[in-house]
Amino acid sequence: MSRNGTLLLASVMLLVVLVATGCPRAAEPVEPPAAAEPQPGGTLTHLHNASPDNLDPQGTVMAVSWWVFSRMVDTLVTRDHDLGIAPHLAESWEMSKDGLTWTFRLQRGIRFHDGTPFNAESAAFSFNRFAEVARVGILAQLKETVVVDEYTIEMRLTAAAPRFLDDLASHYAGLISPAAVEKYGADFGIAGMVGTGPFKFHEFIPGDRVTLVRNEEYAWGPPIVENPGPAHLERIELLVIPEDMTRVMEFEDRAARGYAVTLTLAPPADVRRLRADPAVQTITRTTTGADILFINTTKWPFDDIRMREALIYAINTQPIVDLLLEGVAVQAHTFISPSQIGYPDAAGPTPAIQRPVDPQRARELFAEAGWLPGPDGILVHQGTGKRAEFGFLTPTGYVGEPEAIVAQLRDLGLDIRMTVLEPAASVAKAREGVYELYLIGYGWPDVSLGFDLFHTRQIGGLNFSFLSDPQVDEQINTALTNLDPEVRAAAWNAAHVRIVQLAPFVPMWYDMLFTFASKAVGGMELVGAHPLWASDIHALDLHYIPGK
C-alpha cells in the first residue's frame, strides 16, 4: 500500500474513534420535576437485561416476570409503609387457634380484566391451583381452599405457618381468572394473563418485549397508594436488551428525547456516571440479601473451625468495596441484610458480631491448626506435608472481586486455585462439594432464605458450606413454625448467633440496587419512599411528564 493510502486509512480510523469516544453529547439542561397534578396518558418503557419466562404468577420464579405480572394482579393482603400487613382484596381475616385454618372475607364489586367477577369461587380456584402447580417456594403449608359463601373463603394448612400472611402479600400469590386459565390452557402466561390489577395484558413476545395497557375500570388500589385507580399511565412496556452497553445507551437516548424510561442493572461504571447525571432520577436500595464466601465445612482442612475462623480474620472486604465496588456495594457483616424483613429480630441488639480483620490472628490460627510457611511462602501442613492449595469457585459476573480475595489469601500463604463458571454451572458444581470455597450472592425479601443456606435440609441444595448442626436446624424450624412472635424472634437470633460461631462463611458485601428514570417519569419519589421498593403498587402513582 502507498504511504498516502495508509495515512488516509489511519485518519479515517482515528476520526471514527475520536467521534466515538471523545465527543460525548452535551448534557441538556434539565428542569426540576414539575409538581403539577399527574395527567392521564403516556407510556413508561422499562429496559431490562432478561426476558420474563412466563407471566403466570404461579408458573415462574423470575424477578423480571414478577416485575410484569405484579402490575396485572392484586393480592388478598398487602404491605403498608411500616412493612406491616394491610387488607387489599380481603376486607378482613381471622386465624383459628391452632393456626391451621384462615378465614378471609373478600371485597365486593371487583372484576378480573376479562369480566369474570372476583368472588370466593375464583379465589378458591386461584389458591387451589397455586397449591398444585406453583413453582415459587411460598405458601408451602397450604393444603386447600374452600368456599364458605360467595365472599368468604377458608384456607386450610397442613401445619401452622406464622408467615402465611407475608406469603399472601407476595404477588406470586396474586389472584388469577379461572376463565382465562381455562381459555389459554397450557399457554396461560404466554398468550394471555388475566388478573384484577391496574394493568392488563396486551402483548408478550418472549425474549423481546411485553406490553401492558391500563385497566380503565380499576378503582381498588391498596390504601398505601395516592391514586386508587385507574393508573395515570396508559401503557407500560418492558423491552429486553441483554447487552449492558446497549441498554444504557438506549436509556440515555430515550431520556434525552423526553421519553418516560426506566433502567435497572446498569454496569458499575455506568451507575457512577448516571448517578451524577442531573438529567436522571435515581432510586437506591440495598439488596435484600448478601454476597457470601461459603467455606466447605466438611472438606479437610476446613472441617477444623480454626481454619475457617482464620479465613474470616484474613479476608478484608473493605478495599474491595472501596475500590472495585465504589458506590455500588457496602461491606456486609453477616449473611443476612438490614434490608430484609425480620432482620432486627434475627440480628439481635449486636448485629456486627463478625470478627475484625486481623491477618496476624489468621496466621496464628493457621499455625495452631498445623500450617506453617514453606520455603516459597505457601503454608505447609506439618502433619501430612501437604501444601495449602485450595479450590475456589465463583460464577461469572464479578469484576475482579474474586481475584482480590485470592491475592489477599496468597499474602497469607494460601495458594488458591480459582475456577469461574457461568452461574447455573457454578451452582451445580458447588453442590458437589468439590471446592473448598464458593463465592455467590443471594436475594430474598425476608431473612428465612439466608438461614436456609445453613440448614441441613438444604445440603445438596443451597447449603454450600455443607454445615449440619442440630442446634441451628432446631432454631430455624422453631422460627419458621412457632406462632408466638417473641419465640420466633428469639429463635432467629439464636440461630444467627450459632451460625456465626460455627464460621461456615465470610460475609462479603451488600450490593446496592439502582433504578434510573428519565425526568419524564413522574411519581418516582413515591416509589423511592417505600421500604420494599414496591414499584408494583406505585405503578398507579407513576405518570408521564410531557416535555421533560
- Specify the residue for cell string 390452557: 185
CB-wise, 319 or 461, nearer to other proteins?
A: 461
C-alpha cell at 108: 365486593
Nearest approach, Cβ of 534 to other proteins (angstroms)? 20
Residue 408, classed as helix, strand or coil, is helix
Under the criterion CB under 8 A, does residue 7 sit at the interface with other proteins?
no
Residue ranges in 18-47 that form contacts with other proteins under rule CB under 8 A: 19-20, 23-25
| Calpha distance 257→251 (Å, rounded) | 10
Q: Mask of contacts with other proteins, 424-463, x by CB under 8 A?
A: xxxxxx------------xxx----x--x----xxxxxx-
Does an H or E element contain 213, and which? strand 209-214
Choices 54-62, 225-233, 340-348, 351-359; region in contact with other proteins by CB under 8 A = 54-62
Candidates 90, 136, 168, 233; binder of other proteins (CB under 8 A) is: 136
* Of residues 288, 251, 256, the one with CA closest to residue 271: 251
Under the criterion CB under 8 A, does residue 418 sit at the interface with other proteins?
no
Candidates 168, 238, 240, 447; binder of other proteins (CB under 8 A) is: 240
**Residue length of the chain:** 548
Beta-bridged to residue 263, according to DSSP, are 47, 516
Instruction: Label residue 200 exposed, middle or buried (CB < 10 Å: 0-12, 13-18, 19+).
Output: buried
Under the criterion CB under 8 A, does residue 223 sit at the interface with other proteins?
no
- Specify the residue for cell string 491477618: 359
CB-wise, 53 or 154, nearer to other proteins?
A: 53
Nearest approach, Cβ of 248 to other proteins (angstroms)? 10
Under the criterion CB under 8 A, does residue 2 sit at the interface with other proteins?
yes
Residue ranges in 178-207 that form contacts with other proteins under rule CB under 8 A: 186-187, 189-190, 205-207
Q: In whole angstroms, how far apart are CA 155 and each of 73, 97, 122, 393?
A: 20, 14, 13, 44
CB-wise, 348 or 443, nearer to other proteins?
A: 443
Nearest approach, Cβ of 521 to other proteins (angstroms)? 19
Backbone angles phi, psi at 192, to 5 degrees: -175, 155
| Calpha distance 538→529 (Å, rounded) | 10
- Specify the residue for cell string 376479562: 114
Residue 384, classed as helix, strand or coil, is coil
C-alpha cell at 64: 423480571
| Calpha distance 14→35 (Å, rounded) | 47
Choices 134-142, 214-222, 321-329, 479-487; region in contact with other proteins by CB under 8 A = 134-142
Question: Which residues would be at the binding site for other proteins (CB under 8 A)?
Answer: 1-2, 4-6, 8-9, 13, 16, 19-20, 23-25, 51, 53-54, 59, 61-62, 135-138, 186-187, 189-190, 205-208, 239-243, 245-247, 249-250, 252-253, 421-429, 442-444, 449, 452, 457-462
